[in-house]
Structure 1
C-alpha cells in the first residue's frame, strides 16, 4: 500500500493535511476538462464459402467514442505531492502483511504512524483504514 508518512503523526492529521493539499492543488491548478475522439477499430476477416470463393470483409472491433479527461490532472497531482512534502511527509510503500502475521495480530487501525522498519507491513481494514505492523 502507498501512503504519506511522517513518523509520530496522527493518521487523522495526515488525512486533513492531504485534504488541505488537495484543495490547494485544485485552487492552483484548476480542472481543464477536454474531449477527444477515439476512432473506431476495424479488422479485416477473410470468409470463404463451400465452393472456395473467398471475400474479405471489414469487421468493427470497437466503435468510436468521445472521451472526457482532465488535462491538468497530472500537474495537480504533482502540486499536491509537493504540498505534502513541504509539510514533511514522504510517500512510502508498505508491503501487505502475510496471512501468518495477520493471524497473530490484534486488528486495530493505526492511529499514530509508528517507526517503519524493513519488515514493517500493513493490514487493510474495512472503511479505507489500515494497521501498520512491525513483527
Structure 2
C-alpha cells in the first residue's frame, strides 16, 4: 500500500489526530452524570431497536516471493509469509445502531460538537470541576482530557 504522504509525515498526522478530542455531546446546563445516563440509555435503546448482525470476512494470507540461489548455482523462489490468513468479525448493523443512538440524543436536546483541545496559557494545568453542569458554548469553548480518559467541554473565563 502506498500513501500520498511520506511515512514520517503520515506518522506525525496520526499522532496529532490521536490527541484531538472526539465529537462530544453538549447541552448547556446539564450535569455530566445526566449526560452519561442519557447517552447510556440511548445506546441501550439503539441496541434493542437494531439487533447485531455479526458477519465474518476472510482475509487470505499475504506472501512475498524472493529468488534464492545456492552456492552451486541452483536457484528457486522462496515464499515468505508477511501476514497470516485471518477471519475478521464485524457487526454489519453498527453504523445503523450508532445513527439510532445519535437520533435519540438529538431528541433529548443534545447536539454533537467538535472542539479543539484546550491549550493552557504558559503551560499551566487546567482544572475542571467534573460535577459542574456543562457551560454554554462560545468561541473560547474547548475540550479537556480528564485523568479517566474522558473529555470534558469547558469555556475558560478570561480575567
Q: Please state whether the residue corresponding to 2:38 is helix, strand or coil.
A: helix
| Equivalent residue runs for 1:1-135 within 5 Å | 1=21, 2-50=23-71, 53-100=74-121, 103=124, 105-109=126-130, 111-127=132-148, 128=150, 130=152, 132-135=154-157
More strand by share: 1
Whether the 8 Å contact between 1:36 and 1:67 is mirrored in structure 2 is yes
Superposition TM-score, scaled by structure 2 size: 0.73
| Structure 1 residues without counterparts, runs of 5 or longer | none
Whether the 8 Å contact between 2:27 and 2:109 is mirrored in structure 1 is yes
Residues 64-106 of structure 1, C-alpha deviations (whole Å, 9 max, x = no match) = 1122211111110111111111111111112111142761644
Superposition TM-score, scaled by structure 1 size: 0.85
| Structure 2 residues without counterparts, runs of 5 or longer | 1-20
Q: Please state whether the residue corresponding to 2:100 is helix, strand or coil.
A: helix
Cα drift, residue 53 of structure 1: 4.9
RMSD: 2.2
